[in-house]
């Protein structure tokens, strides 16, 4: 799967055949129509990141019924959804052959441009936002985006929420598994002052037994501008609370007996989670050509999870209580100078400080586990800090109208310390300044054909509270894992009203480590290689019909590494990485009142263990349908049917942690079968 730029370009010319472009284009593709391109002043829009960028507008978001907002991205190209569905530990979004197991958290997550990963890189802050409060979602793939450092290994996702405007929107939903949800979004803008408020409450009994979930989210945004719109100051605040039961993972035998039952051993499993966000925003148009953007933020994450992995009676490892307290304080500042029609200079700095605590206790055997009893052992009671300083600079050079060149350079530095329950103290690995050069190019062959290429480096550093992230006594030092990525692609318009893109990419990593802070597990994967081909098309065929589809072929393999037992991993596929991900959809606007839609998504099977010896699991193909009836100008009703064919599929992982030697086995979490939801929407 080596890149072949010439055949791709030739193919694009054959299907289009227009005259040369007047201006250099971009490589982004938009799904949906409700997306407003940012104005030319201010910070640079995401379209200037010359890689595979996808943007999903609010019309593909606001009317979707999902248990968790990360599920919305299943509509977008090449997105792998890891559907663990264990209470508040519901799942994760990944792409570019990075899996969602929690070991290699390679996707940076942002909400309104504010970093929103927890320390391990997991994406739990996504749960704070609901569909009715979202304006659009940006997905940036690859290694050439210099704006972010920590966790930005394979790319980033930015959830942009509504700001300004005058509206009163409400959505009331009832459906399968006794699901009840209410969302309310209010915006009021008058003169120079804009206010936005949001409230959501969702309760559900869950698809499986012992999987009740109750959560709410509350948010407010207040922004003020001056008369000339050269200054914009704002404050954003969010609160989130979630209490959920966990049904527990099933063995193959338990799954075959019933997809909905929860074993008695899991009767006391559950999660109590609180998250908070507060940010101040200050944007200035210093002159016609110079803009400054600043964000100061605070994130907090408190989680108390009780979990029983097996009913194995010897030892106390399978029965755990995990408690997290994380506090993130940070600042981002960006300066953009549009020096000339041929040159724009852009740069920024960021600083983040994390003050975190992690406590992990293990309990004696019991059916169910008695988490009110004193723990058999406290394995972790750790306090740790992580400090990150980063900076980047890039130039957007346009020597001729058809060509745009973007060289960029980023550096990051980390420090911190930990104090373990033993009283031992240690400092974070000293990685020095991690250098990340990048280069991107786009050339407009015609107004409808843009050929682009990029090369760049990103990095992975160890996280968690213990060794090897921190240099405790006798601990060998680790270098950062450096990812070098390259991509060649073409964006084109096969016909009027359509957008298509084909991209060939590869990403190679040195010293990659599978690092799971929650279990204290670190596995060296050594040198790895990820590569693939992404193909996608979206089209508005006429006033009534719109279609979209994508197919991503991917591969992640270990180049050179050994297990702890000395077995070679060379040539093995990285576990939990499917070889393909596909989706497709069609919407039909029958008349002003009726709209119909179908959406399908599929992915291939994947190996579940590092040696690729335990078989392949996890593949699926599901079909969803939706119908909307516009009752009046302000009121509509929609019906959504999920997994229309009642396809049986499940998330699968290999448990070689909590079973005795010789009994290690695959563990399953069944996805819901056919389900339906009806919603009443009111827009005033």
In tens, the pLDDT along 436-493 reads 999 999 999 999 999 999 999 999 999 999 988 999 887 778 889 999 999 999 999 9
What is the pLDDT, as a whole number, of residue 50? 81
What is the pLDDT, as a whole number, of residue 81? 94
Q: How many residues are present in the chain? A: 684
208-218: pLDDT as tens digits? 999 999 999 99
What is the pLDDT, as a whole number, of residue 552? 97
> How sure is the predictor about 17, in pLDDT bands with cuts at 50, 70 and 90?
very low
What is the pLDDT, as a whole number, of residue 24? 58
Cα–Cα dist 452/275, whole Å: 40
3-state secondary structure 376-410: CEEEEEEEEEEEEEEEEEEEEECCCCCEEEEEEEE
Taking alpha carbons only, the member of 487, 443, 347, 454 closest to residue 44 is 347
What is the pLDDT, as a whole number, of residue 15? 33
CB 201 within 8 A of CB 185: no
Cα–Cα dist 203/241, whole Å: 12
Q: Which tokens in the block code for residue 618?
A: 């996890």
Kindly report the average pLDDT of the chain as a whole number.
92
> How sure is the predictor about 36, in pLDDT bands with cuts at 50, 70 and 90?
low
Cα–Cα dist 189/244, whole Å: 37
Can you tell me the mean pLDDT for 35-56? 74
Least confident of 99-113, 254-268, 272-286: 99-113
**Radius of gyration of the chain from Cα atoms?**
25
Least confident of 69-78, 157-166, 352-361, 556-565: 556-565
Can you tell me the mean pLDDT for 261-274? 98
CB 673 within 8 A of CB 643: yes
Phi, psi of 401 (to 5 degrees): -65, -30
CA angle (479 as vertex; 476, 482 as ends), nearest 5: 155
What is the pLDDT, as a whole number, of residue 491? 95
What is the pLDDT, as a whole number, of residue 3? 38
> How sure is the predictor about 606, in pLDDT bands with cuts at 50, 70 and 90?
very high
Q: Which CATH number fits domain 5-683: 3.40.50.300, 2.60.40.10, 2.120.10.30, 2.40.170.20?
A: 2.40.170.20
Whether 313 shows a pLDDT value over 60: the answer reads yes
Instruction: Give the residue ranges of DSSP H helices in 534-665.
Output: none
Q: Exposure string (b/e) for 667-684, b if CB count within 10 Å is 16 or more?
A: bbbbbbbebbbebebeee
Share of residues in the chain with pLDDT > 70 (%): 95
Element (H, E) at 252: helix 252-257
CB 410 within 8 A of CB 391: yes
Q: CB within 8 A of 604, min separation 6: which ones?
A: 578, 579, 580, 581, 619
Q: CB within 8 A of 584, min separation 6: which ones?
A: 547, 548, 549, 550, 599, 600, 601
DSSP state, residue 69:
G
CB 399 within 8 A of CB 342: yes
Least confident of 6-20, 100-114, 132-146, 416-430: 6-20
Whether 7 shows a pLDDT value over 50: the answer reads no
Element (H, E) at 179: strand 179-190
Element (H, E) at 597: strand 594-603
What is the pLDDT, as a whole number, of residue 33? 64
DSSP state, residue 10:
H
- The bridge status of strand 270-285 relative to strand 193-204 is unpaired
Whether 671 shows a pLDDT value over 70: the answer reads yes
Whether 648 shows a pLDDT value over 50: the answer reads yes
Place of tokens 């000395």: 566
Cα–Cα dist 594/189, whole Å: 32
Q: Which tokens in the block code for residue 324?
A: 């997290």
Can you tell me the mean pLDDT for 121-128? 95
User: Is the four-CA dihedral 103, 88, 271, 359 of positive or negative sign?
Assistant: positive
What is the pLDDT, as a whole number, of residue 41? 58
531-584: pLDDT as tens digits? 999 999 999 999 999 999 999 999 999 998 787 778 888 999 999 999 999 999
The burial class, CB within 10 Å (0-12 / 13-18 / 19+), for 541 is: middle
Q: Which tokens in the block code for residue 37?
A: 């391109």
User: Is the four-CA dihedral 570, 575, 579, 581 of positive or negative sign?
Assistant: negative
Cα–Cα dist 235/378, whole Å: 40
CB 682 within 8 A of CB 169: yes
What is the pLDDT, as a whole number, of residue 596? 97
3-state secondary structure 267-307: CCCEEEEEEEEEEEEEEEECCCCEEEEEEEEEEEEEEEEEE
Can you tell me the mean pLDDT for 229-253? 97
Least confident of 45-49, 314-318, 558-562: 45-49
Q: CB within 8 A of 511, min separation 6: which ones?
A: 478, 479, 480, 481, 482, 524, 526, 527
Place of tokens 């942002």: 110
CB 162 within 8 A of CB 130: no
Taking alpha carbons only, the member of 87, 40, 553, 684 closest to residue 338 is 40
CA angle (467 as vertex; 460, 659 as ends), nearest 5: 95
Phi, psi of 120 (to 5 degrees): -70, -15
- Please provide the distance, in angstroms rounded to a whole number, between the alpha carbons at the two ends of the chain: 52
């Amino acid at each position: 799967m080596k890149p072949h730029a010439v055949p791709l370009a030739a193919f694009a010319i054959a299907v289009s055949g227009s005259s040369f472009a007047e201006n250099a284009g971009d490589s982004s593709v938009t799904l949906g129509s409700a997306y407003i391109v940012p104005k030319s002043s201010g910070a640079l829009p995401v379209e200037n990141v010359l890689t595979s960028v996808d943007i999903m507008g609010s019309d593909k978001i606001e009317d979707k019924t999902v248990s968790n907002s990360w599920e919305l991205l299943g509509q977008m190209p090449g997105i792998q959804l890891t559907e663990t569905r264990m209470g508040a530990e519901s799942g994760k979004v990944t792409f570019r052959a990075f899996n969602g197991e929690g070991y290699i958290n390679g996707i940076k997550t942002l909400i309104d441009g504010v970093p929103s990963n927890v320390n391990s890189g997991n994406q739990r802050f996504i749960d704070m936002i609901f569909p009715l409060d979202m304006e659009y979602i940006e997905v940036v793939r690859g290694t050439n985006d210099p704006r972010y450092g920590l966790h930005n290994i394979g790319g980033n996702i930015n959830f942009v929420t509504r700001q300004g405007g005058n509206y009163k929107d409400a959505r009331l939903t009832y459906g399968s598994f006794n699901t009840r949800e209410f969302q309310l979004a209010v915006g009021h803008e008058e003169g120079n002052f804009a206010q936005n408020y949001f409230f959501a409450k969702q309760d559900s009994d869950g698809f499986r037994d012992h999987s009740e979930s109750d959560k709410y989210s509350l948010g407010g945004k207040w922004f003020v501008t001056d008369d000339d719109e050269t200054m914009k100051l704002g404050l954003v605040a969010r609160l989130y609370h979630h209490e959920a039961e966990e049904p527990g993972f099933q063995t193959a035998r338990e799954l075959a007996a019933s997809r909905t039952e929860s074993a008695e051993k899991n009767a006391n499993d559950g999660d109590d989670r609180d998250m908070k966000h507060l940010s101040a925003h200050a944007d200035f148009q210093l002159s016609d050509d110079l803009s400054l953007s600043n964000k100061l933020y605070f994130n907090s994450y408190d989680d108390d999870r009780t979990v029983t992995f097996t009913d194995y009676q010897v030892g106390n490892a399978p029965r755990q209580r995990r408690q997290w307290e994380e506090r993130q304080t940070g600042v981002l500042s960006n300066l953009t100078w549009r020096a000339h029609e041929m040159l724009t200079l852009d740069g920024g700095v960021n600083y983040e400080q994390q003050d975190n605590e992690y406590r992990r206790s293990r309990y004696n055997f019991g059916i169910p586990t008695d988490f009110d009893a004193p723990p058999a052992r406290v394995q972790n009671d750790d306090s740790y800090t992580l400090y990150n300083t980063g900076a980047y600079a890039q130039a957007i050079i346009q020597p001729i109208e058809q060509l745009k060149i973007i060289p960029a350079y980023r550096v990051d530095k980390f420090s911190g310390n930990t104090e373990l329950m033993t009283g031992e103290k240690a400092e974070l690995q000293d990685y020095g300044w991690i250098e990340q050069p990048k280069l991107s190019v786009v050339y407009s062959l015609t107004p409808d054909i843009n050929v682009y290429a990029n090369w760049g480096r990103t990095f992975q550093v160890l996280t968690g509270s213990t060794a090897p992230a921190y240099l405790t006594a006798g601990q060998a030092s680790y270098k950062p894992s450096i990812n070098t990525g390259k991509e060649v692609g073409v964006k084109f318009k096969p016909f009027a009203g359509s957008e298509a893109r084909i991209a060939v990419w590869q990403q190679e990593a040195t010293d990659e480590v599978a690092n799971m802070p929650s279990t204290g597990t670190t596995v060296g994967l050594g040198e790895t290689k990820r590569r693939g081909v992404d193909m996608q098309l979206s089209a508005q065929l006429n006033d009534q019909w719109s279609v979209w589809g994508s197919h991503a072929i991917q591969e992640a393999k270990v180049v050179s590494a050994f297990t702890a037992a000395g077995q070679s991993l060379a040539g093995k596929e990285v576990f939990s990485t499917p070889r393909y991900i596909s989706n497709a959809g069609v919407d039909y606007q029958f008349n002003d009142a009726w709209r119909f839609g179908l959406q399908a998504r599929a992915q291939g099977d994947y190996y579940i263990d590092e040696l690729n010896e335990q078989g392949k699991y996890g593949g699926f193909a599901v079909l969803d349908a939706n119908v909307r009836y516009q009752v009046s100008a302000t009121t509509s009703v929609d019906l959504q049917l999920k997994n229309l064919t009642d396809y049986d599929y499940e998330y699968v992982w290999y448990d070689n942690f909590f079973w005795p030697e010789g009994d290690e086995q695959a563990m399953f979490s069944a996805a819901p079968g056919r389900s339906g939801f009806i919603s009443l929407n009111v827009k005033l």
